[in-house]
Amino acid sequence: MPRVARITDMWTGICCCHTGCIAMTGRIISGNPIHESGSLKVARLTDMVIGNCGHPGKIVTGAPKHNSSALAVARVTDLVTGCIIGKIVTGNTIHESGTGTGPPVSPVATVQFQGEEITYTEVDFGNSDDDPTIDDGLNIYPPVIGRPPTPEEIVRSEALDVSPTIDVEDSTSSNIIDTTAAVDCRSIDPSLPNSFQLSANFTLGDLSTKAVLTKSTVRAQHGYTAQDMVCNLQGWAEHIGEDLSTQFGRANFIITSGFRAGSSTSQHERGMAADLQYPLKTNTEVYNIAIWIRDNLPFDQLILEYGGNRPWLHVSFNRFGNRPSTASNKFGTRVSPGNYIWGALKNMI
């Protein structure tokens, strides 16, 4: 069974609040003031850690059935996120918690990216809902839909908040391209496999079942046939994805969400949008990419988004006609869950 983690125990991983992400270790710096294990305070879900570089983070997973003052007990192999991303590696050699067979406290996905292991936690899953009309403003997963959040959910969301501090720098001027190029969908078969090439650098699976956070099989919904959905995704790949790949390199970004099954107003559910992350780039570098997209690509909507463990770019393309450059919600910044600033791209560090 995993060993219980305590204040001063160590974590190891990377820190992405530098120019690129660098290898890092650090220690747990907060714990339950009441409960101890081996004369040291027990660490729990939401307790703080710090890297040797000085950047902070939080513990985001814990024992499924073992609590300390109503918070899950942290153990060796549990995850820490924030500027830092890693796992707890030391704990009490005597006290153990859980068999590891129960459900995790936080949904987790792990991907290998350019030799680094990138871990996604509940904060990222909770922030996968980037449609302003249904964004519940919470970090927790699953998202709260159709009802007000409970006081307990609000407290939990606040404990998981890793939104960075906003910088004064922003950009509102642009030469937005409004043209929408036609997409030829005559040869598309709705039963195509995930390996089908939508464009030179993107398969159908890349924008649906192989996305990191939302893995939905393309299907008919919202009045669109499955063939329509594939055609919409092809439009995104040809007119957004390919130019991004040429300018910044296809290997340098991953798709966290493409097509989604569901019943909301999100363009993801119409095959028109994808969320991108550049995991090894700084916030400023991602901000500069957003500026380039705004000034060079024929997008329908662009949102530079913060609130998870690293910023991401929501970019949509509508083959039936992109919204005009004068639209109030043509581009903007999601500075934290549920909080949008339209008409400006903000650099948050």
Q: Tell me the average pLDDT across 186-206.
A: 83
β-pairing verdict for 331-336 and 301-305: parallel
**Percent share of the chain, pLDDT over 90:** 48
| Arithmetic mean of pLDDT over the chain | 87
> What pLDDT shows up at residue 187?
62
Least Cα distance to 306 among 19, 82, 87 occurs for: 82
Which domains are delineated in the chain? 1-92 (2.60.200.60), 163-348 (3.30.1380.10)
Q: Which residues contact 346 (CB under 8 A, 6 or more apart)?
A: 166, 167, 169, 170, 287, 304, 333, 335
**Cβ(17)–Cβ(10) under 8 Å?**
no
Q: Sorting pLDDT into bands at 50, 70 and 90, what band is 145?
A: confident
> What pLDDT shows up at residue 38?
82
> What pLDDT shows up at residue 101?
46
Query: Does residue 104 surpass a pLDDT of 50?
Result: yes
Counting other chains too, the contacts that 194-200 makes at CB distance below 8 Å and 24 or more residues apart are 196/230, 198/230, 198/233, 198/234, 198/237, 198/238, 199/234, 199/237, 199/238, 199/241, 199/242, 200/242, 200/245
C-alpha 253/C-alpha 163 separation (Å) is 21
Q: Sorting pLDDT into bands at 50, 70 and 90, what band is 184?
A: low
| Span 226-271, pLDDT tens digits | 989 999 999 999 999 999 999 999 999 999 999 999 888 899 999 9
Residue with tokens 């270790």: 25
> What pLDDT shows up at residue 324?
94
* Structure-model confidence comparison of residues 161 and 73, the more confident one: 73
Query: Does residue 275 surpass a pLDDT of 70?
Result: yes
Q: What is the pTM of this model?
A: 0.80
Q: One-letter amino acid identity for 328?
A: S
| Span 27-44, pLDDT tens digits | 999 999 888 888 899 999
Query: Does residue 321 surpass a pLDDT of 60?
Result: yes
Q: Sorting pLDDT into bands at 50, 70 and 90, what band is 179?
A: low
Query: Does residue 288 surpass a pLDDT of 80?
Result: yes
**Percent share of the chain, pLDDT over 70:** 92
> What pLDDT shows up at residue 343?
95
| Span 85-94, pLDDT tens digits | 889 999 987 7
List beta partners, residue 117: 112
